[in-house]
């Protein structure tokens, strides 16, 4: 495991966890190629991801999503940990195009809108309040928050820029080639329409609906003095930036991601988090170099990298004595069942 700015948080997380994955779709992804998800899967990706994590197989389509290079969804990593470590998990719909066929928590049916028009949503404050109320009714010793939002690194860029951070060229991508220029053009157009630089106005313009929901869950647990893992890469840096606008006692929060994000030369998670808050970053190492599956070896070249809470759930599992090799083996052993090949 990679430890950056470690403050002992990792020792605190040997507790019963609840993993919550927040899903949303973004209308902009239907018009601009900003997502690394394979285009045939964009509408289905959030539903398929949480079906695999919760249920152990997909229900809406026969297989989980793949990226544009046909590498498997990071949901395979998350599912491996959930099953191997028996991690409780619940999933929140904040506007997926296609709804999952598992029991899920509905918080907003309608997808995130057009980022390039500054019309991501109208209700970020309401979503924050709804999710905060929900969190009052959830109990766990440790909360791990993940996401499945195709196009979500673009909204991360928008929110980080909108809140005044130097984020140009620093957000990650689900594909090997990161379309930084296109993302920047889209969010700059959208940000011109933001009503103010208040966090909820920025979210309404260029955020995605996962963000106020994830931020509210985190703030609620932090206020209850329970540790929170933001499970993801640069999208979770944006969530951290939102949290910081609302609540600034951040001694019980960490970002946990994958080695693929940390090693990525086309993004800079560490440089983003350093600007926002003095919190630790952990990254799981997976030994995918030695996988017999081409799709997993491609992760080492920059495909997919992260998502569906894969990094954070893995860091939690490894800190609780799961050998990372077992994650790889679990994926290899189940790959045919999941993908039918």
Interacting residue ranges for a copy of itself, rule: CB under 8 A = 16, 18, 54-55, 88-90, 92-93, 99, 102-107, 130-131, 133-134, 136-140
In the bound state with a copy of itself, the residue whose beta carbon lies nearer, of 90 and 270, is 90
In the bound state with a copy of itself, the residue whose beta carbon lies nearer, of 202 and 213, is 213
Give min distance, CB of 103 to a copy of itself, in A.
Answer: 4
Alpha-carbon torsion, ordered 134, 144, 68, 333, to 10 deg? -120
d(Cα 300, Cα 37) in Å, to the nearest integer?
17
d(Cα 260, Cα 228) in Å, to the nearest integer?
22
In the bound state with a copy of itself, the residue whose beta carbon lies nearer, of 130 and 328, is 130
Give min distance, CB of 95 to a copy of itself, in A.
Answer: 13
Give min distance, CB of 244 to a copy of itself, in A.
Answer: 24
Q: What are phi and psi of 334, to 5 degrees?
A: -100, 0
DSSP 172: -
In the bound state with a copy of itself, the residue whose beta carbon lies nearer, of 110 and 193, is 110
β-partners of residue 92 are 22, 105
Contact in structure between 185 and 248 (CB atoms under 8 Å): no
d(Cα 53, Cα 79) in Å, to the nearest integer?
4
Chain centroid offset of residue 284 CA: 15
Handedness of CA 89, 242, 260, 324 (dihedral sign): negative
Give min distance, CB of 71 to a copy of itself, in A.
Answer: 28
- 254 sits in the region (left: phi over 0; alpha: psi -120 to 50; else beta) called beta
Give min distance, CB of 230 to a copy of itself, in A.
Answer: 20
Residue 318, CB-side half-sphere exposure with 13 Å CA sphere:
27
DSSP 147: E
In the bound state with a copy of itself, the residue whose beta carbon lies nearer, of 18 and 157, is 18
In the bound state with a copy of itself, the residue whose beta carbon lies nearer, of 104 and 286, is 104
- 211 sits in the region (left: phi over 0; alpha: psi -120 to 50; else beta) called alpha
Give min distance, CB of 105 to a copy of itself, in A.
Answer: 5
Give min distance, CB of 146 to a copy of itself, in A.
Answer: 14
Pairing mode, strands 253-258 and 142-148: unpaired
In the bound state with a copy of itself, the residue whose beta carbon lies nearer, of 134 and 203, is 134
């Amino acid at each position: 495991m990679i430890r950056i700015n470690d403050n002992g948080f990792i020792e605190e997380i040997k507790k019963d966890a609840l993993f919550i994955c927040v899903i949303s779709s973004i209308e902009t992804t239907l018009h601009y190629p900003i997502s690394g998800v394979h285009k045939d899967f964009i509408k289905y990706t959030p539903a398929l991801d949480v079906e695999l994590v919760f249920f152990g197989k997909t229900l809406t389509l026969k297989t989980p999503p793949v990226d544009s290079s046909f590498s498997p969804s990071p949901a395979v990593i998350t599912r491996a940990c959930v099953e191997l470590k028996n991690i409780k998990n619940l999933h929140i719909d904040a506007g997926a195009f296609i709804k999952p066929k598992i029991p899920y928590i509905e918080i907003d049916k309608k997808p995130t809108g057009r980022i390039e028009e500054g019309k991501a949503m109208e209700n970020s404050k309401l979503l924050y309040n709804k999710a905060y109320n929900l969190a009052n009714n959830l109990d766990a010793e440790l909360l791990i928050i993940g996401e499945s939002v195709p196009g979500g690194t673009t909204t991360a860029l928008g929110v980080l820029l909108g809140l005044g951070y130097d984020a140009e060229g620093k957000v990650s991508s689900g594909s090997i080639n990161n379309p930084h220029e296109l993302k920047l053009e889209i969010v700059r157009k959208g940000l011109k329409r933001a009503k103010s630089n208040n966090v909820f106005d920025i979210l309404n313009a260029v955020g995605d609906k996962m963000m106020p929901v994830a931020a509210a869950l985190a703030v609620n647990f932090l206020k209850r003095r329970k540790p929170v893992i933001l499970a993801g890469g640069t999208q979770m840096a944006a969530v951290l930036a939102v949290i910081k606008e609302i609540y600034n006692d951040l001694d019980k929060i960490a970002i946990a991601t994958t080695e693929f994000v940390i090693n990525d030369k086309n993004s800079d998670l560490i440089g983003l988090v350093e600007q926002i808050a003095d919190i630790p970053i952990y990254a799981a190492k997976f030994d995918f170099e030695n996988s017999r599956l081409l799709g997993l070896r491609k992760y080492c070249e920059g495909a997919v990298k992260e998502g569906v809470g894969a990094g954070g759930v893995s860091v939690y599992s490894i800190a609780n004595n799961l050998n990372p090799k077992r994650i790889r083996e679990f994926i290899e052993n189940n790959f045919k069942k999941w993908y039918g090949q």
